Amino acid sequence: MNEENNIRSHHPERFSIDYTVEATTYEHAHEIAQEICLEQTVELPGSIQSVKKVEPFTVGIIEHVEFLHRSIGIRKGLGLWKVTIAYPIYTAGNELPQFLNLIFGNTSLKHGISVQDVTLSKSLMENRTMFPGPRFGLLGLRKLLGVPNSPLLCTALKPMGKSSEEFATMAYSFAKGGIDIIKVGYVQNC
């Protein structure tokens, strides 16, 4: 714990993520948490020497491991554990997609792990570069579309074997039928 406090003093700005993990014991839950710390940042085993050099400044720190409960439906012998991991803010690269990937990117492929909560640091809460907010907002969209009061209707079109002409006819028909926003999938040969 003293080592973790030393690391924190060098990099106090962190955000934290609460995960639930399926595990048999505290040690097992802690082991899974350590795997999450590595997988979500350096994507390498902790035993590799180069990881050890960057670990204090890049890899997440396990802040908390707590048994929640055994539950019906969980595989035999497993319980649910709450794991809190704190990551340096710069691991998000000041980009929303990287931030979302850091929260649950590769770990989403692993069974028995789910994100429950994210606690942003003060500077992330105030970061207008990474979190600029909506470009137009609801009122701006309504003004742009000329729909001041009624519900906005949206659909997605995916051509799935249609020609460009057929695809254009589908989009036109939806627009004439009252759809306000049409998300268009990839169209080849347009």
Judgement on whether residues 155 and 180 belong to the same structural domain of the protein: yes
Q: How many domains does the chain have?
A: 2
Same-domain pairing of 106 and 76: yes
Same domain, 99 and 21: yes
- pTM score, two decimals? 0.63
pLDDT of the chain, 190 residues: tens digit per residue: 444 445 444 556 889 999 999 999 999 999 999 989 888 887 766 556 555 556 666 778 899 999 988 765 556 678 899 999 999 888 888 888 888 888 888 888 888 899 999 998 888 888 777 777 777 788 888 998 899 998 988 888 876 777 888 888 988 998 899 899 888 765 555 4
Number of Cβ atoms within 10 Å of the Cβ of 107? 20
Measuring CA to CA, which residue among 116, 93, 97, 95 is closest to residue 105? 97
Question: Which of 79, 95, 125 is the C-terminal boundary of a domain?
Answer: 125
Same-domain check for residues 106 and 54: yes
One-letter identity of residue 44: L
Residue 47 pLDDT: 58
Residue 143's domain comprises: 137-184
